[in-house]
Structure formats: C-alpha cells, structure tokens
Structure 1
Amino acid sequence: MQCSSSLRTTPSKFLVAAARTSSLCSLVAVLILFSTLLTLSHASSYGEDQRGSEGANHRSSEVVAASGVVATDDRRCSRIGMNILREGGNAVDAAVGAALCLGVVSPASSGIGGGAFMLIRQANGEAQAFDMRETAPMRASKDMYAGNATLKSSGPLSIGVPGELAGLHKAWEQHGRLSWKRLVRPAERLARRGFKISPYLHMQMLKTQSGILADEGLRHIFASDGTLLQPGDTCYNKKLADTLRKISKYGVKAFYNGSIAHNLVGDVQKHGGILTVEDLRRYQVKIREPISSKVLGYKILGMPPPSSGGTSMILTLNILTQYGVQGISGPIGIHRLIEALKHALAVRMNLGDPDFLNVSGVVSDMLSPTFAEELRKTIDDNMTFDPGHYGGRWNQITDHGTSHVSIVDMDRNAVSMTNTVNGYFGAQILSPSTGILLNNEMDDFSMPTNSTGNVPPPAPPNFVSPGKRPLSSMSPTIVLKDEQLKAVVGASGGGMIIAGTTQVFLNYFAKGLDPLSSVLAARVYHQLIPNVVQYEDWTTVYNDHFELPADVREFLQQRGHILQGLAGGTICQFVVQDLETSKGNNSIMFLRGVSDPRKGGLPAGY
C-alpha cells in the first residue's frame, strides 16, 4: 500500500481496498467485473433511506463506476444524488439534492441557513463559479462588535444573510434537468420522517452541548428532557420539513420574500439579531469566472475571491513544482509544503470581497509562477521561520467547519461544491418557526482591535461592511488534462481546507498514489499564526487511527517546527476519471469516487 508510510490505521477494509486499487490499471477485466458488482450491490440498497453512516460499511470509502459518481460526507446524501443522476438529472441537479440532504442530516456543518461556493464545469468546456456566500446585514458596521470577539463568533449578531438556497436555485435555473420539486423532496422526507444521528454528528453535538441546550430550537430537535440524543437515535425536524415543502412548491421567493422570510427574521430579532426581511430580499448570487492556472501539466479551476482557497492552493503548488516531483516527496517535501503554505496564507489576507475592493493585483501575483519563484528563494530546507519572515501584513481569520460535495455525471459535467454554516451548528440558534439552523458567518470577517506583541493587526480588506462577503478558505477545485476532465476535489475543515485539498491533489497527481490512498494519507496543517504545525494524530469516531509517522515528525522538529497533534482535520471528497478501456467500438473512462472515511461518508456511483 503506497500510503502505509504516512498512515497508521487499525486493521480494516482500507488495506484491502487500497491493495485492489493499486492493481486496477493492469487488470481492466477485473475492474469491469468489480464495477458491475458494485453497481448491482449498490442498486439494491440505494434507496433514500434514513440510516446514518454508522456500521462496518463506512469503510467502503471508494466506488468505481462508468456513468456517474456522487461523493459526500454522508452516504444518505450520496445516494440521493446518485438516484437523481440515474433518473436523468445532471451534476447540478445531484448537487442540489445532495446539498439539501446534508443540511438536514449534517446540520452542524451546512444547511439553507448558510452559504456555499459551487464550481461548475460543463462537458462542453464552459465553467462558472457560483458565489452564494453569506453577506453582512445592512445594519452591520465595521465597529459593530466593539472589540468583543464573542459577539462575532456566536449568537444573533454573528448571523450573516443566508445564500445557499438562492445559489442552488440559480444554478438549477441555468443548468437543471429535473423539476425543482423532485430535487427538494428527499431532504423534506428525511426531515419529516426522521433520520438517524451519525456518530460524527453526535461528536459535533457533544462539542456544542452547552449551546444546544441553551437554545430553544436546537434543544427541541437534538435533546430530550435536557439530554442529548445518542448515535442511532432518530431525529426529526418537522418545521424544516414544512419549510422545504414550501420551497419545493413556491421556489426560493418564499424564503427570501415570503412567509418563511418573515418568520425567520422574527425569530432572529427575538434573539437580538439585526437581520431584516429587506436583507433577504436584497441578497444576490454572484456568478463569477473561475480562476485558472497550469500546474504540473494540469489545468486547475478554482474559486475566485471572496474565496482565498483557489488562489492560495495554486500559489502553494506553483512554489512546490519548482522542486520537481522528487523534491516534494518524503519528509523534505512535507517541510517544503509547510513553508509554501505559510507564504500563501500570508499573501491571501490581502484578499477580500471583489465587489468592495480591487483585488486583481493580488490575484495576479498569487497565480504567477514568477511570483512563486521569488517566494521559493526565501525557503530554507534546513529551518523554518517566524511568521514575519513570510511578509504577511495582517493577522489570519479562523474560519471553521463546512461540508463538501464532488460530483461527475454521465456526460462528464462536474460540480465541486463546498457549503457551510461556519462553526459547529453555526450561530447555535435554530429558528423555531422554520426549523432553519442559522450561520455564524460574520465571524469570518476581521475585526478592528489593538494589536499586541508580535501579532499583526487584523486585515482591513476583510472588515465588515453592509452587504459585504467575508473572506473564505473554501477550495472547490476541478482538474483538467488537455481540456479533458481528470478530477473533482474539495474539502471541509475551515482554515485547514487549503492544506487538505492541496495534499490530496499532490498525493494523486504528483506522488502517484491511487485515489483512495491519496485521501487516506495523514495530513499536516499550518495557519501561519500561531506558528505551529498541526499534524493528524487521532482515532476517529469510527475507530480508525490517522497519524503522521514519527520519523517525519522528528525531521520537522530538527528544522525548528513546533508540532502539535490534532484530533481532527479536513474531510475530503475526491472523484477522478481514469482507467480507460474499450468495449466494442466505444472507449470507456471509469470514475473512481472517494468519500473521506474520517467522517464516515460513502460515495455512490452507477
């Protein structure tokens, strides 16, 4: 197994699956049989069921298919997306169904009370970036928190104007094939009939227990008699089901300028929030041009600002490719990755909402191989440096949790979508009258404060302004080779998303690992400030252990890195197109989809 040097795991089907994948390229006949068997076995169980991700099957993290693949971090949502594809829907249709499902069964990470970035690349080569990021309410202001970070991080003043639903509907209007009602219906059913709490959701509930028990709406859904529900317990959100039914019947107008809007705003204002119906009416989805760059012979499509993910990922890769493939392997490659990430994170804080400031110069630099070459010259293979060495003028933001969906359909349309409510359970406020969990996306803005010690000041490009979108680390990515689709990748995990997505890309496209091993390999993270390398060292709620090897840790410490074990990290969804074979006069490109087992997700394909 190629990733055995960077992953220690308890005995599981991971080892069997990885061993299989390493020989698939030379065993096309086996692949066809394997794909057929997978399709048949999945077809018998791919109903829109209510089961969670618990149980031994969560280790079946890879699917091989010829027609279409949906990879999410919850098997119920992957199956819903796949069923949509099987009925003739395309990748956008499947993304709508899967994202709405995630908002029901994974509400700690996503939902229609939050926002998202969706990257679409059609089979004809056209690409779009749908910006459905939350915005600051019109009553918001730069100094609204008066230096109180707690008000910004949770509670009613942390709520931004939700954008996910508007973005999903806009993408569907332009590209969808199936009816809107058909796409909303599975999520409504899950909310009304109940869904089982997965072990991962329960872990998120435990970490947010005080917030859940303190909020009427959350307590009603996730607790009974003052006690949190347990893994495997059935959870109901019938108010959300009613909301989704209205949305399926009347479209997004009910949410942004109808009864749902009035009820939602009423609940927020009862908590002391500043969201208004006018904020919802004003919300606009932004359709932007994806950023694009050539790296290692591949074309990378990424999300432009206000995402910093695409530009930061490309800058990191442009720095690393100067070492050659051999130079980014082994422990020295990890040291160089960390140093490149620190440079990219320093530069990215000059970005912000392009509707409020001109960031074209910063974007141009971050995509420039020449700029990357100048930064590489400052990297020393024998040591690391304090944050000031990397030229950053501003302090970092600490964005939080998300969910990611990677989809490829029969025609090879592709969607990479990252959605979020920010922290676990967002603002930790659930609207009792609508069942909608509210985001705390205002926490992703920088807040004016008095700088102390050696900490840089907060970033003015990312200060609050009415209608503005906060900077994000979300990194939905699509990879092409000679204008043909090669991969769809992305991750959840807040400020660590850039590092996580970059490492999966490098594992597959530079280091030659198979897709499953590329996702399984243990990861490292750096956020520049604090000046600490966080490395995976954790046993997941599914009893699988991920840990950076001791020899790599020793190598990094010898170069001055301060290391800290991390019981968590990013959750990646990865779909690749490879393994071409002939069937009659036709050539078939198989898809391999991987859902990160760290969260217990399963992909679905046919």
Structure 2
Amino acid sequence: MVQERLAAPLLNDGLESISKHSLQRSIARALLALLLATVIAVACVLTFSSQNHNRASLDTYGHFQLETSDIIKAKHGVVAADDERCSDIGTNVLREGGHAVDAAVATALCLGVVNPMSSGLGGGAFMILRSSKGQTQAFDMRETAPQAASEDMYAKNPLSKKVGPLSMGVPGELAGLHLAWTQHGKLPWKRLVQPAIDLASRGFVIMPYLANDIKVSEGAILADRGLRDVFTVDGKILGAGDVCYNKKLGQTLQTISDFGPEAFYNGSIGKSLVADVQAAGGILTFTDLQNYKVELTDPISADVMGYTILGMPPPSSGAVGLILILNILASYGTPDVVKDIVGLHRTIEALKHMFAERMNLGDPNYVNITEVMSDMLSPKFAEEIRKRIYDNTTFPSEYYEYKYSQLRDNGTSHFCIVDSERNALSMTTTVNWLFGAKKLSPSTGIVLNNEMDDFSIPTDISPDKLPPAPANFIRPNKRPLSSMTPTIVLKDGQLAGVLGGSGGMYIIPAVAQVFINHFIKGMDPLAAVTAPRVFHKLIPNVVRYENWTIVDGDHIELSDEWKVGLRKLGHELKPIAGGAICQLVVQNLDNPIKVQGSDNQVFYGVLTAVSDPRKDGIPAGF
C-alpha cells in the first residue's frame, strides 16, 4: 500500500498538500508505526503466544502504513472515514470504477469490523446521496422498535433500556446498504464484502482509539461471553497494537457475501442472531427481521448563507437542527456574524435555542411534526429567535423555553465519499453507545445495538429533571429520534462539500462549527476540522470546551482569550476531554480541472478530503 500511494497520480499531479500541523502528525504516526512494527517483529521471533490474538504479521488490510496524512487532495475520487484502512478499502473500490455507493458498502462493512464499538451489522444508519446529475435520495436505515416493545417496558428496570438485550432495536444498516447498491452499484456484491471478511477472519491491528474504548468498557467486555471471546486473551483485554480476530463475524460476512441480506433478514444468520438475543433475555424476533423496511425519502433541502444544505429528515434531528442554527446566524445579515468572540457567543446561543426546539420532533410515521418542521426550517422563525439573542449576555436555561428532556444519544461513525463521476455520499452509522448493548452475539460475531435508549419513556428520570418528550415515546416498529447529521453542501447547484460527524448529542454542534469554519469563515479544510470546538446541552447551562490530548499526542484546547471572552458574557465554562469526530470533503469550485472521460455537463474540481485527527481516521483518494 505504501508503494501504491507513491505511484498514485496524486503526487505526480502536484496536488498533495500537507500542512505543517499535518506533517508533524504524519511523522508522529510514522514513528508509532515503526515502533509497533518493531514490536510485531520481535513478537514473531519470540512466538510469545499460541493464541489467536497476537502481534504477528498481518495481511494487506491489517498493516501499518508509514506515509499518512489527515488531509489528501485528489482529482478523481476520495473517501474520508475515521479509520485509514476503511478509507483505503473504499478508495480501491473507486479506483476499480465503483460508484460512491459501492465504496460506501465496503467502507461501512470495514468500519463495523475495525471500529465495532461504534457501528456494524447490528446497528443502523442514515445516508444522503446526490448523483452527479443532481438527483438526491435519503436512505433511512435507522433501527426500529421490536413488535413486542411498548412505552412502559422499562418501568421496572430502567437500566435495561441502556444495557443488555432488551435495549436492542431491529438492525437496519445491511438492508439500507444493499438497497442503495441494488439501485446504484456497479461492482459485484461479493467484491465489496470481501475486504471486511478478510479483516474479521485474518485479523486487524487494534488502533489507539479502539484500544481506549476497550479499556473504558473493560468491565462490560469481561462480563459478556461474546465480547470476551473477541476482545480478550487469557482473561486480559487487548490493547493498541494487538491483533484482533472476530472469526464468527467473518463467517457471517461470508454468508452475507454468498447469499446477500436475505441471510440476515430471512435466513440462517438472522435465526442465529435472534436465538442469541432471546437466550440472553431480549424480545427481538425473526419476524421483526423479516418485516424490517428501509425508508427511502427525499432529503431536506434548504438554502442558507449562500449554500444549499441537503440532509436527513426526521427521525434525524440533525439537518433540521443544523438549518435552524444557520438560519439564525444568517438573519443577522452580515458575513461577519460569526467573527471573533461575539460570533462564537451567537453560535452558542443558536445551539441552545435549537436544542429547546428539537425534542418536539419524532418519527413522522407515528407523530405529526409538520408544524414543528415548518418552524425549524423557517427563516422567519429563525429571525424571531435571533431577536432574543443579545451580544452582551447569555441567559438561564429557562429563557430558551424548553419543554422536554434531551435525547442523550452517543457513539456512531461517519464517512464521506465522492467518486470519479462526482456522485457524493454522506453516511453516519451507529450501534449507539460504546459496544452498543454491551453484548456480542456469540454465534454471529455481531455487536448488538442499544438504540432503544434513544426513545423517551414516561418514567424517564433525566439529569435535567424535565418531562420526557411524547413525540419520541416507544411504539412497535417506530424509529427513535437521532442526532446524526450526514450532510451534502451545494453552491449554485454544484457539489461544494460533504460532511458529517459522530458523537451523539455533540454531532449537530460539531457539524455546524465545521461548516461555519470552512464555508463561512473561509478556513482551509484541515483547519476547519481541527479547530477547537464548543458544545452545549442547554441543561445544564454550561459551555463545554475541548481540552484534551488526542490519540496521536496533539493537544486541542480553546484558547484562554476565548475562554475569558465567553466568561465575560456570562457563560459558565467546563472542559471536556472528547466531543465529536467530523469528516469533511470539499470540491474546489474556483478552478475546473480536466478529467479523462468526464461528463462535460458535470463540474470537476480538485477534491480535498479530511479525516478528523481526534480519532484514528486518515482519508484516501486518487
């Protein structure tokens, strides 16, 4: 793969651009890789373990690459995922003439193997797709409540809503990926599934971010047979640099490769999964899998601040929330609206107003949210909110007229893809909390989601002491509310960018800030993603600012000047060692480029892809 990168036309064309910050990170990664490679070599010589988990040499997809960067520029196609191996796998699909959807299948399945704490076959997702001709689709593959679910099912045991088999919704990721592939795919299904099979069966190196999540979840992993079989050896959890195998998942993926999603939703894999869930005390049935349906809809589309935003409709609150924030800022009528500390203050206030509104949303198949949607997407409504924002002060939480407790979702993984035809795809996929329900199906290798925790229930006792949101109450087959915000950005009808994030309730604020940083402030793509972020949950009335050392050793923290400025405006501030992870792809619309065999009706500009260094992601392109 190193040789492949060196031979790529990317470098020959002179399009590679790595900032000093990124170059330093590349050197650090290279040193880490060399160190780990040395450990691997020594371990091989000593043959220190006869177990499946070891530091032995790996196949193509499990290697360490010495030449890496958080940013890449390319003419033809790019994939920005939060794991380098998955970006490479998706890009290889594009090199072979695959559609963006082909690359999405391969990338998503890869992520489900190497980052199983965040996503996988046991979870769900949202996908926004825009074709090079301008057609748009929104694929809702969100998990659904089982048929036996009810709004009072957790009354006697609230913890079972968060952890264990009762917290599992009906998985939708595989169904959504296959539906998109049947409509747009160019390469054989088997070709797209094979890389994930190889990773699960032959082993993959545990990267630092996953290693940290394994450590954090050590108790839950040791308590569950399925997780224990995959993530421990001799009673000890695996760490960074160890090789992890999930051979049961490899077998599951092989069956899905051979027989398609039928094996999952109406065949042997589904029967085995249901048997494991029910044996553990869950209510998922084979009929639930058979009845699962992907919702294929039109994206939400809004023109704001000189751009067109395409995003998911509810049950995602992401696009609606993002558009409300941007409309509030746009109503100031000046491009300097987000400039300096006052601009950040305005953004925080817009976030707080957005969170006060979004809990009125829910699954539109079960609740009438027409009026709420109309308000949240209305520039006039946003202007009325803006009149309640003052540049010299903030207010107590009650000022924002909230009604209900917040959805406190978590986790997820996000990736962005643009192919050689300029089809663009933004997808966020999830099992919700770290390792979902903290259960792994022993017979299939699949991590169970805990998506039922994203529903509201009448007996909820939330940290904010507010009543639960009735629009998000459990009903059989209903989809819970979500913060996922897969987004595509257009400028004058042309593809300008693809972005999205992972991190539950922090996603919408993070995506909003990355959008503002690049498209409004004009920051370069890497700086737009790496800039320190702030977050707010409305209750408690506290601004959380990033202050943490990320996996590669870099430190991200809001500057003292900005902290002092926000405190002067009345904000209470607290640091947070975490937040959200964002991926970004932008197309240069100023300088068209010539691409052999390209459609003359489609604009082609240089693509810049950024994977957030806060995780282990590295983009790829050609």
1:277 equivalent to 2:286? Answer: yes
1:442 to 1:37, Cα distance in 2 relative to 1, 3 A: closer
What does residue 50 of structure 1 align with?
61
Per-residue CA distance 1:128-187 (angstroms, 9 max, x = gap): 000000000111100000064311111111101000000000110111111111111110
Q: Could you tell me how far apart the structure 2 residues matched to 1:71 and 1:356 are?
A: 35
Q: Could you tell me how far apart the structure 1 residues matched to 2:106 and 2:595 are?
A: 35
1:398 equivalent to 2:408? Answer: yes
- 1:474 pairs with 469, 484, 498, which one? 484
Conserved 8 A contact 1:387-1:531 = yes
Which aligned pairs between 1:411-450 and structure 2 lie closer than 5 A? 411-449=421-459
SS in 2 for 1:356: coil
Matched residue type, 1:34: L
Q: Could you tell me how far apart the structure 2 residues matched to 1:125 and 1:461 are?
A: 33
What does residue 218 of structure 2 align with?
209
Aligned residues: 570
Q: Could you tell me how far apart the structure 1 residues matched to 2:161 and 2:420 are?
A: 44
Matched residue type, 1:202: A
Conserved 8 A contact 2:422-2:604 = no
1:453 to 1:285, Cα distance in 2 relative to 1, 3 A: closer
Is the deviation greater in 329-338 or in 490-499?
Answer: 329-338
What does residue 475 of structure 2 align with?
465
Residue 287 (structure 1) shift: 0.5
Residue 449 (structure 1) shift: 2.4
Q: Could you tell me how far apart the structure 2 residues matched to 1:147 and 1:534 are?
A: 34
Matched residue type, 1:33: G
Conserved 8 A contact 1:52-1:232 = no
1:33 equivalent to 2:11? Answer: no
Matched residue type, 1:122: S
Residue 558 (structure 1) shift: 1.7
What does residue 523 of structure 1 align with?
533
Q: Could you tell me how far apart the structure 2 residues matched to 1:286 and 1:527 are?
A: 29
What does residue 320 of structure 1 align with?
329
Conserved 8 A contact 1:147-1:448 = no
What does residue 20 of structure 1 align with?
none
1:75 to 1:529, Cα distance in 2 relative to 1, 3 A: same
SS in 2 for 1:383: coil
What does residue 621 of structure 2 align with?
605
Which aligned pairs between 1:335-354 and structure 2 lie closer than 5 A? 335-354=345-364
Residue 48 (structure 1) shift: 7.9
Per-residue CA distance 1:335-386 (angstroms, 9 max, x = gap): 1111001111111100000110111211111111000000011112122122
Matched residue type, 2:501: A
Residue 50 (structure 1) shift: 3.2
Conserved 8 A contact 1:147-1:447 = no
Residue 52 (structure 1) shift: 6.5
1:101 equivalent to 2:110? Answer: yes
1:596 equivalent to 2:612? Answer: yes
1:355 to 1:571, Cα distance in 2 relative to 1, 3 A: same
Conserved 8 A contact 1:52-1:198 = no
What does residue 153 of structure 1 align with?
162
Matched residue type, 1:343: H
Conserved 8 A contact 1:257-1:281 = yes
1:544 to 1:250, Cα distance in 2 relative to 1, 3 A: same
Matched residue type, 1:185: Q
TM-score normalised to the size of structure 2?
Answer: 0.89
Q: Could you tell me how far apart the structure 2 residues matched to 1:36 and 1:378 are?
A: 43
Q: Which runs of 5+ in 1 are unaligned?
A: 1-28, 39-46
SS in 1 for 2:62: coil
Conserved 8 A contact 2:593-2:606 = no
Q: Could you tell me how far apart the structure 1 residues matched to 2:366 and 2:15 are?
A: 52
1:584 to 1:373, Cα distance in 2 relative to 1, 3 A: closer
Q: Could you tell me how far apart the structure 2 residues matched to 1:475 and 1:161 are?
A: 21
TM-score normalised to the size of structure 1?
Answer: 0.91
Conserved 8 A contact 1:181-1:248 = yes
Per-residue CA distance 1:270-326 (angstroms, 9 max, x = gap): 111111101101100000110011111110001100000000000000001223221
Q: Could you tell me how far apart the structure 1 residues matched to 2:147 and 2:435 are?
A: 23
What does residue 388 of structure 1 align with?
398
Per-residue CA distance 1:498-548 (angstroms, 9 max, x = gap): 000000000011101011110010000111122211110000121111000
Residue 556 (structure 1) shift: 1.2
SS in 1 for 2:336: helix
Q: Could you tell me how far apart the structure 2 residues matched to 1:386 and 1:576 are?
A: 38
Conserved 8 A contact 2:18-2:71 = no
Matched residue type, 1:229: L
Conserved 8 A contact 1:71-1:574 = yes
- 1:126 pairs with 132, 135, 151, which one? 135
1:331 to 1:148, Cα distance in 2 relative to 1, 3 A: farther
Matched residue type, 2:386: R
What does residue 364 of structure 1 align with?
374
1:372 to 1:183, Cα distance in 2 relative to 1, 3 A: same
Q: Which runs of 5+ in 2 are unaligned?
A: 1-9, 20-57
Matched residue type, 1:562: E
Residue 452 (structure 1) shift: 8.8
Q: Could you tell me how far apart the structure 2 residues matched to 1:169 and 1:213 are?
A: 34
CA RMSD of aligned residues (A): 2.2
Per-residue CA distance 1:70-113 (angstroms, 9 max, x = gap): 00000000000000000110101000100000000000000010
Conserved 8 A contact 1:202-1:230 = yes
Matched residue type, 1:249: D
Q: Could you tell me how far apart the structure 1 residues matched to 2:62 and 2:278 are?
A: 36
Matched residue type, 1:283: Y
What does residue 295 of structure 1 align with?
304
Is the deviation greater in 328-337 or in 386-395?
Answer: 386-395
Larger RCO, structure (CA 8 Å, separation 6 or more): 1
What does residue 307 of structure 1 align with?
316
Q: Could you tell me how far apart the structure 1 residues matched to 2:227 and 2:608 are?
A: 37
Q: Could you tell me how far apart the structure 2 residues matched to 1:147 and 1:118 are?
A: 36
What does residue 3 of structure 2 align with?
none
Conserved 8 A contact 2:201-2:245 = yes
What does residue 277 of structure 2 align with?
268
SS in 2 for 1:600: coil
Conserved 8 A contact 2:405-2:464 = no
Conserved 8 A contact 1:52-1:74 = no
Matched residue type, 2:171: P
SS in 1 for 2:372: helix
